[in-house]
Structure 1
Amino acid sequence: MITENQYFDGQVKSLGYETTEGKSTIGIINPGEYEFGTANKEIMQVIEGKLTILLKGKTEWQDIDAGQSFEVSPNSSFKVKTEVQTAYLCQYR
């Protein structure tokens, strides 16, 4: 089954699906700055565009370009900002 998700008044949208390894979403983030919470470990890959991220407990923002990924611990949070529409794949493990 495919699920549709919207966050931040429609500025972030994704389609969710399940694989044999777990749940995943593929989506688009519009320009802006957003904060997400996590329940599970998340592996997020930038497909197109660019994100700048700030992981919980860190003080320096990190650039994540297309083709790169980052991981977020379960029961945590992270901030993202972008100046361009950015496509991503998020795997919940």
Structure 2
Amino acid sequence: MFNVNEYFEGKVASIAFNTAIQTATVGVMAPGEYEFGTSEFETMTVVSGALTVLLPDEKEWKTFTASEVFTIEANQKFKVTTIVDTAYLCTYGK
């Protein structure tokens, strides 16, 4: 069954599901700035729109657009900004 979550007063919404090999979420973000934490390794793929991301231990923000991917190790925090509604796919584990 799907697990639906909302964060940041409904500005970020995700639906969790299981793929054949790992857990995943697909979601959307409204324009804004957000900080997330990881509990396990994550791979994020931008589906549409764009995310500008400040990854752990980085000093410069980097923008990822549709079909681009970034990863975050477990137990890290990272910041994200978006100026347009943006969709993403996040898979968990290596």
In structure 2, the partner of 1:14 is 14
Letter in 1 for 2:3: T
Aligned-partner Cα distance in 2 for 1:65–1:19 = 23
Whole-Å Cα distance in 2 between the matches of residues 19 and 67 of structure 1? Answer: 19
Q: Gapped runs of 5+ residues in structure 1?
A: none
* Partner amino acid, structure 2, of 1:15: I
TM-score, reference length from structure 1: 0.97
Q: Displacement of 1:77 after TM fit?
A: 1.1
Which residue in 1 is equivalent to 2:24?
A: 24
Moved over 4 A (4+): none
Rounded Cα–Cα distance in structure 1 between residues aligned with 2:2 and 2:74:
23
**What is the CA–CA distance in structure 1 between the aligned matches of 2:38 and 2:8, rounded to whole Å?**
16
Q: How do residues 2-81 of structure 1 correspond to structure 2 at under 5 angstroms?
A: 2-81=2-81
- Counterpart-to-counterpart distance in 1, 2:53 and 2:20: 28
Deviation at 1:88, TM superposition (A): 0.2
RMSD: 0.6
Q: Please, what TM-score do these two structures have when normalized by structure 2? A: 0.96
AA partner of residue 51 (structure 1): L
Structure 2 Cα separation of the partners of residues 23 and 67 of structure 1: 19
Deviation at 1:20, TM superposition (A): 2.6
* Aligned mates of 1:8, 1:92 — CA distance in 2: 21
1:9 positional shift: 0.6
